[in-house]
Amino acid sequence: MLPNTGKLAGCTLFITGASRGIGKAIALKAAKDGANIVIAAKTAEPHPTLPGTIYTAAAEIEAAGGKALPCIVNVREEQQIINAVEKAVKTFGGIDILVNNASAISLTGTLETETKKVNLMMDVNVRGTYLTSKTCLPHLRKSRNPHILNLSPPMNMNPMWFKNHCAYTISKYGMSMCVLGMAEEFRGEVAVNALWPKTAIHTAAMDMLGGAGIEKQCRKTDILADAAYCILTKPKTFTGNFVIDEVLLREEGVKDFDVYAIAPGHPLMPDFFLDVEIDTTAMKQERYGKERTVSKSKLKPTLAFMSGKLRIKGNMSLAIKLEKMLTQLNSKL
């Protein structure tokens, strides 16, 4: 695993959806440095099936060495975002990092997706990310090394990622478009990047699939926490990147990925929006409307897929299996 360096000591992180899962894992990693964590999430009272509240997360963060500020925030409500940001600035003196982690999912086709579900995904994933970023940006611009990190994928235009859940894909790519736009708009002032897992991640949502042994095909949230920590400790010149967790960590020198596995050695499911094999000889980046080919000899085995234009090859059966399983999850929510 990636060791802590202390670089986030005294920094204030505003993390949406941090009461459990990936958001909480990122918070706990930063807390080990002595960071201040604003837990901006909805769950104030214990949920009947999902673990954790903003208050139990706060206790864990403080036990790990950080300072915590639990705030009840539904990112669909702009005033709740504004109130939490104001409280964070009053409590900690500013905001250095925003992690847009909160997300909603409904893996249904166009005719099966109710309007309220469409509104939920667009409100949480796109509008919530946009408004939280907008509200934090005046404070981020005052920080020495400010970052925005969205938990969103590279924009893979393979139609298979649209056909079965068009609204969900649009909403997640909307988060990614915030990265593209804001990275350019605030270049030199605030770093704006995206992070996405290469494989399925074991969370409470995955447990709700109900299939015995599903967790064996997943990695722990620790891998995303380590990757996020690596991004957030980079200088603000590192911006406009769509980062895949394993790719970044390999570049940072991590060699043992079994430590992130729930069941080391067991086959892992690839995550959404990533086809099984990426042909790195065909990766392209777009800047200012111009497209340039990156030759394999000059390409670092990393990160940024600015346009999301990747030529894909390989067996997609595992990805299709994951999609079917998550569709089953949606029917239980």
Contacts of 34 (CB under 8 A, 6+ apart): 6, 8, 9, 10, 65, 66, 67
Q: What is the pLDDT of residues 123-178, one digit of tens each?
A: 999 999 999 999 999 999 999 999 999 999 999 999 999 999 999 999 999 999 99
Q: Per residue in 261-271, is it b (16+ CB within 10 Å) or e — as a string? A: bbeeeeebbbb
pLDDT at 311: 30
Q: What is the pTM of this model?
A: 0.85
Rounded average pLDDT over 177-184:
98
Which percentage of the chain shows pLDDT scores above 70? Answer: 81
pLDDT at 138: 98
Active site residues: 168
Would you state the structure tokens that stand for residue 196, as one six-digit string? Answer: 């996405």
